[in-house]
Structure 1
């Protein structure tokens, strides 16, 4: 038997060790992202309960605490954690697009991950109408980018995997994490990296399962939509949800790139005062809604879905306004959960028009329609809602509603909010 050539053996050893090192980065990163998502979920629940306890004792306290909190958060964001404001998903999309490592580090880094977590929790602690899921996406992208900092060749794949793992771990929805990576983060699928991305999502999901158990985010729903007249509700929810989602996106994009005239100049020069004004307006929405529009909106959406609590006819518009105000203020926090909650309110309002249609089905249609209208990613919308509610009976109506909503949204806003906002973080090409 001929002895193995030593130089060739060394080359093979180097190649295989490099491959396993790369795989280890994805797996270890997935575990880290899952741990961060669990920690943020637990802390976010505590922050919301603390604020609701405060409001329960001092109903008008939000008029003081919320604007002061918004102003302080914006000051800390601009001073210590730049580029950590808002949802975080546009930053992750932009970071994946950029070619320069230093430019990417301005959008996804360990420093930003820490700031994102702390400031998102602060927002929920003072009553912001924000979610933690968008924040988890930027945190996941930051963790993976940090772990693979010296593997420049694979940075886009690492960022993509971290963002997808963030969605999967935040909602316990591994399939939605994959779809989100394909449709929203990359709008394409890198076949060579697909196994590693799935491996990262599995690692993050297992970490979440280990700490939180095998839960369904909104609880299991067995709602169905009988054939016939009830299907008119699919079209109605799709049109209304899509138009309102597009309007919401257009407002966010308009403020993100600056209002024209003196108003825009003043906002740019006084971001802390503008954030405080937004916080005061959010507190007013809280008073008008009976304190239901604060936070992620999870409890309200779950109650509407399972018909355990009636939502006011004003819940959806007030929650939409409170979420828009929280977002345009610039404080860190996502729009994922609040959007689903607004959609649940739209579905509950539709039940007043379609009294013969099961309310659970209308709530799910409202969720999908409004969320699809905001992000204009219909596949992600119906997959994540069906997976979050363990409902497979409504897949076809949810698909149809998502597509109708996307079309209606484009009448108002030409592009989904995440990709439109991502352009803000991409420097213009040098001439």
Structure 2
């Protein structure tokens, strides 16, 4: 009898704690926790990089005329020679990796060396004055972490890369709900219901780790934005349409340069990648001089200042930041567009607020952020949830949803393809050419 009970207990222990199901859960939960730690560390390092940039511009604003173009040239050289596949946001790579069937193809996009290079090059880009963010790169890093853990375990768990990207968004912005929505809407168009709880649990773990390390906070602080009658709804229409058109135009240009080899006139320019990056850097330095340095970096301080009414980066901040972000993106450097695009939207909202004197400026800024960001990424649900979670502005839920829908329609008139999915085809085509 005792022998039978002992054998039963051993079988149950193997099934409960050592079986395939528990190994799978350990990978998802452990990966989520690790992504949370890495995302918080990345955020702290990005803040330090921006502070270093401010120290340099404090010596003399003119120093950036040398630092930015030379820094961009160095970054382009390092990216092309040693970290091929780390260019741009990182979200297209995560999307492409989910569609590449071969392990070698996924490894080319999600190698640990590439993830470490992505972090280092993004930080160096911020120091050099690039208008880039860390959120998109965090998605590629998160997917890489999950990829490595899956390979270490000798298994390929379905939904693993999806969970990594979603957990990264949750930890980077401290927005767990947005992480889940982002996974469904942007990363996984064919979301698997049977794996949904594993993805959700990874997001929760990453969010809890971020919460434990940095506390409960809203990314852009507490917004006092409120809908105030007919003026708000007129602003919804104007900001939705203008933001959508501008965001769609931005995405169309980024896609154009990403596939520049298809056009002879552009292919000739892009053939000299280091020189082209240096030229983009020089133009960004000029924009920085004209705006008092406001266009450098992620744009976080400017967007938060506009939302809270504590800072005024200038009437032309929105268009200038848009130009700086476009130049940073097409230069081919690693770096995301999440934070810069939200900041551009805030600047556009500031400009348009003069048309609606009866509406609080913070309300128009919030609507402007939603309109432009939706226009860029064409993911309305993700945009609304991210903006609401980052500002605790739940009173603006319905106006922001209406803005996002209008912006999506306007953006598609200019750019029929969502930017991340369009750019992912570049990496899928490369994998197909190598037969991997």
Q: Same fold (TM over 0.5)?
A: yes
Q: How many pairs are equivalent?
A: 431
Q: How does 1:10-409 map to 2 (within 5 A)?
A: 13=14, 17-150=19-152, 154-258=156-260, 261-409=263-411
Q: Is the 8 A contact 1:129 1:294 kept in 2?
A: yes
Q: Is the 8 A contact 1:145 1:155 kept in 2?
A: no
Q: Is the 8 A contact 2:291 2:313 kept in 1?
A: no
Correspondent of 2:426 among 424, 427, 430: 424
> Structure 2-normalised TM-score?
0.94
C-alpha separation in 1, matches of 2:157 and 2:240: 37
C-alpha separation in 2, matches of 1:314 and 1:419: 31
Q: How far apart are 1:49 and its partner, in Å?
A: 1.0
Runs of 4+ off more than 6 Å:
4-9
Q: How far apart are 1:267 and its partner, in Å?
A: 3.3
Higher helix share: 2
Q: How far apart are 1:181 and its partner, in Å?
A: 0.2
Q: Is the 8 A contact 1:101 1:152 kept in 2?
A: no
C-alpha separation in 1, matches of 2:172 and 2:159: 20
Q: How far apart are 1:11 and its partner, in Å?
A: 10
Q: How far apart are 1:202 and its partner, in Å?
A: 1.6
Summarize deviations over 1:362-414 as a string: whole Å, max 9, x none: 11111111110001000000000000001110000000000000000001000
Runs of 5+ unmatched residues, structure 1: none
Summarize deviations over 1:113-151 as a string: whole Å, max 9, x none: 100000000000110000000010000000010010155
Partner secondary structure for residue 19 of structure 2: helix
C-alpha separation in 2, matches of 1:39 and 1:141: 16
C-alpha separation in 2, matches of 1:268 and 1:251: 14
C-alpha separation in 1, matches of 2:201 and 2:113: 25
C-alpha separation in 1, matches of 2:230 and 2:266: 50
Q: Is the 8 A contact 2:93 2:109 kept in 1?
A: yes
RMSD, matched Cα = 2.1
C-alpha separation in 1, matches of 2:43 and 2:231: 40
Q: How far apart are 1:222 and its partner, in Å?
A: 2.5
C-alpha separation in 1, matches of 2:80 and 2:158: 26
Range with bigger deviation, 268-277 or 131-140: 268-277
Q: Is the 8 A contact 2:32 2:167 kept in 1?
A: yes
C-alpha separation in 2, matches of 1:305 and 1:222: 8
Q: How far apart are 1:429 and its partner, in Å?
A: 5.5
C-alpha separation in 2, matches of 1:311 and 1:111: 38
* 1:156–1:322 distance in 2 versus 1, CA, 3 Å: farther
C-alpha separation in 2, matches of 1:70 and 1:306: 33
Summarize deviations over 1:21-77 as a string: whole Å, max 9, x none: 110011111111111111110010011111112112211111110010011011111
Partner secondary structure for residue 24 of structure 2: helix
Q: How far apart are 1:309 and its partner, in Å?
A: 1.6
Q: How far apart are 1:208 and its partner, in Å?
A: 1.2
Q: Is the 8 A contact 1:97 1:156 kept in 2?
A: no
> Structure 1-normalised TM-score?
0.95
Partner secondary structure for residue 84 of structure 2: coil
